[in-house]
Structure 1
């Protein structure tokens, strides 16, 4: 062989290393020998019977910073020839050492500390020019910490109680350039301590702090980690201590009214940090001891004086610094819900919002105070049903049915959280003319001259049920027939009123105002369910069933109708007919009559009939389903309606064929009996169709093509 590469005496060779050569004549295979330059050539080749003219020495096959000799022996079946001996030296590796880890001996929580360290390359070689690595900085709770697992990355969740042996990664710093043998660099990292830290920690620095697959080549990794000898003692910083010193509320208030609260916040701790934000929240509860689980947020009144829905929780946000021992007086308007009465407690909690919470440490749980208030229930409506009439006292399943009832208010007006109505006195006002108006035009539009504010509309729901129980409504055994709305839900929510040009006309939100002694008649129409069993039934109407209107004491107001006797139909195929004779291929009509033998009628209800064909005069499993038809029609009790099927006989059919019709086969409506829905047989004698006999009588071709 010749031209062996790398060249003889080559230095700083990296692994993996490619060895190559130019072959001699008549060579079949090669043996490669590699050995320590201070030793003799071994008898066993490093790699034997190679058929290529190159070989890659694996990464871990040779020792770094050492000289090796190598040669190639060329072979064929007749002889072998040893090539020349050359040498190369594997590159020396770096060895990074961390030292001089510096950090403050004592710090306060919440402060930002700086940690510095030094990294020196004590190895014989330099890091590669394209090497990049990170130095990781950690907190640990002991002097023998295990960094093999995943560290904690979240300072807020790491403490002396939750660490469980896992160090906390403070951050990593990139070393972007190579480091020659004997050189060093210094680096530092700043870290802001969580405000709740109050325990000693050890500071560790690990150089080349990467996953093993991404580490740089070093002579050793044993000294990649260093620790500050003594721990950093973290003391808990003094914190603000916000407290509610007093809450002043009216002694009494009506439910649904807006009241003003005045309260005082005092800082018993250090000054609140500049730029900090905290929020005070307001709650109500019947518990004289603060319990957030039983306390309910109060709401702010809306700009238009309404309260429902989507009102905002009552709160006061503070952004100004509060000095030690300084008191700040605040006030806020809140709405007392319209269903409250009795003795209640209004609580004000300062620094209550967890999203903008000011850190108070162990002093965060003393920031609530309360005022007692006697809530007087604003008189409420009492919606009753004083009349209920039904269309008839005898009816059938599927029958359209109607009822009428009247809701009477035996109580007072509906407060519904200050929903308001408006009666407008209309007028005109001058407005800007359009671009196409003639010059000197005067343009006018409707305007609102006067807005008379009154009680607004209410919304509630009446539910209509049918039941066999005459003793009272039990929804477990009753069926809901329909729901009837009074008014429009959330009709008290509307765009701001504009006077010129007017965006409303004459009235707004007054279509269903609950007045004392007011009457609210309603009518409901529905179809009696098709699957009701025959028997005696009652219609029940439950007004304000969902309690959309607040009533006190809120006893359910339900009215029952007189009894209604409901019957089912019983449809049968009373007759069926088919042509006595027919021919294969012919379309025939099978006519049949459906008779209702039941006491109940069918009212324009869907019915599905099926047509079957058989070779036998008695219906059995061999019968073939030919067609299904769907009709919607009325069949009175004792009445008959005609129907028919059209069917084309297959041309090959011959002999007697029998047809059957099954009416209401899927019980689209329930009947008193189901065994009588199939007809008797209608027979036709079919003569086979005469086969066609096609013949070619002439063929025409063009004279030329």
Structure 2
């Protein structure tokens, strides 16, 4: 009992969330029971109470709360706490994030505060899955605010819905704020054996390889590890069997992915007859799968365990020389014997010979050759392989072994006797490396003195003085080319010597040791203009690039050859040998002359252009008084002893005095050509030409034209010309021209020639001629213009000082109007809806609203466009119609065959625009009025395509390579349009269940000719269809 006098409100300390709380009274309720009073509290938070330690019982024992015998210490106070909590709990998370790839059997829920575990049992939540309600089996608290919920796991894919009811409460009794619900997705894997490979026959006790592929065909990833089991079964149901192997897989297998395993197993010694190979993926059933019933696959066909006689191929009597030369041929032979008790099951196989650095055949060895055996081999029979084999030139010098192997592709079934198919040479063989190939220039034939500017021809011989055959080179290894150069000394220096050429001197492969080839080639470049003297021709074998990098660019070891050559000049000599002139000529008129020049020297001209000059001379002696008529250029070199001829026409000067003249020809008048004799370059004509003067004067006496005209149409122009001079015209032909100008002042540079008219016949003094001609006005022009007549417009007559009166204005001005058509789409009708690959009908009318007629031909075209703008991206028109008749102003026309039927393209759908364009090629000139040539109509196009689907197929479960199998199938048209024949159905052979046309093998094509309606089916024309399985 407590002494009430020692316990009052001062012994009580209270602290709340907002600070100290004063105890107002301590009320005794019994000998050891008291009630402490204080003001009512409602603030959420923690409250702390401290009582003592200065309180005693009636025996005057003070408080010793920590029971250490020391009383009234601070640690002897009694302390207590409580919390006022008005906030309901809430769920802050669950453990089921992302997709679950294993069957969910438990999950965790975390709350915002501690939960009264008595309020949270399995009735406080519901779980619903794809197949219905899932029972919660147990709720276990992990921490105050974290619980584990166990459920009955289901192996079903889909979405699961979890609801936590608001019946549970926190420690203060506050119920869950609201119902909490969440979803989780379960996607389980599904392992299936999709492929198997194994020998079809074996013997008891033999070790064989069994290969299989497991594919995850489920929606969820499979997480390793699990164990695949392989066993033999005595029936095709896989119901019993002898386990052969267990292989563990410990990696992640995503959906759609596969893995392949190979197990080497021993066939039971007591096994006989047919055994089915059974593979069970996840054989220990550790994975949760959507379907556990498809993990076991019985592979077909069964394996035959036999005791029949079988072959045993062995290699013996391998003979080879003790030394091999790299890069050369060597004869090797070996014997293959069937030492078994039965004949080979295959009629052909391959043997091979290998070069090995040791006596063991492995992947590092070099295969030297491969030979085919072409017949069966009975028990005890043998054959000999003998061949000249090439040892690679790249083989390093050293010690090697030859290994001969038979049946390298394992096509002969030898069961447990496959391990003795190879034999190694009895002794090691030394491989020696012969000297490398080397190209040596052994002879050079120059053929005489070299002349600058010419391209001489040379002959040379090159020998392979090395020890190996040259079977490599440039240009994809097909050969090499030689080069020629000129040098001032006997040492080739690419930066100083002159390059004559290379790429035309080609030699192909091969070239054995000691063999030679002789080439004759003409220099690509001409001999340079070096000083006469002694030089050296350099022949360089194997140069693939041009000068400046040639000698360093070879693939074959070589050296160059040198031969002495002489360079000397032979000099040309140009001499005129003929000059032809007329007897008479007229001042201001043409003078025709011709001449020939010969190279009388010993050498070709070293320049290829010079000029010849013609003079008029009164005395036949060339001096400063003579009159130059002109210069004629000559192009091209001239060889010794050859000549060239030339001719030209000069117009005699108008101020030339009349009289008798010689003509003088001076060839190479600027001394461009270096010649042996420069004094014989002149030739004076042996005859003379008499030059006279004609005083004629053409002038226009009248010229008339209409005051108005239409662009593109002809007008009539009349004119009269008189020769007012004292002499008849010197020539009988000249040209009159009609000009059109936009200015009343004539400017030849701006005026336009409308038409030219030739006059024929000499016009006597005071003689006249008149012309009346139709002259077409240009198209596409309009306004005020001016006509001019020019007599002798080309200055074919010399009139001395009387040329000014040859030009005459025709009238004052002419007004030209331009009457052009203007095509307009007057009407255009088209449907608003259509079906792709079907025909539609269009109607239209075109009107000429212009002032001029439209002349043929032009085209109307119809386009299909995704927008309402006609552009290059719209491609070719759907239809093009040509208008072949004139369309007068205000005239109209429609297509001859109206309405026009056009077929829409296949495979299109959506909103399109039909665009009609008249004069689509802009053939007509419409004076800027082409904007009304187009009409547009919108159309909705639907694509009702056929859709062929295979709905059933009958395929045998097994077949033999090289044999035919029967295949039957049914296909249906699920589309919205008939499938129109013909087409082809194809049958492929695949090593998996995924169609891949690039890797799968096409084994059959079936033709189908008839159409198939909507929802109609069809089968192969020949039922069933037979296709052949390819040979291995």
- Per the normalisation by structure 2, the TM-score is 0.33
User: Which one scores higher on RCO, CA 8 angstroms, separation ≥ 6?
Assistant: 1
- Per the normalisation by structure 1, the TM-score is 0.45
Structure of greater Rg = 2
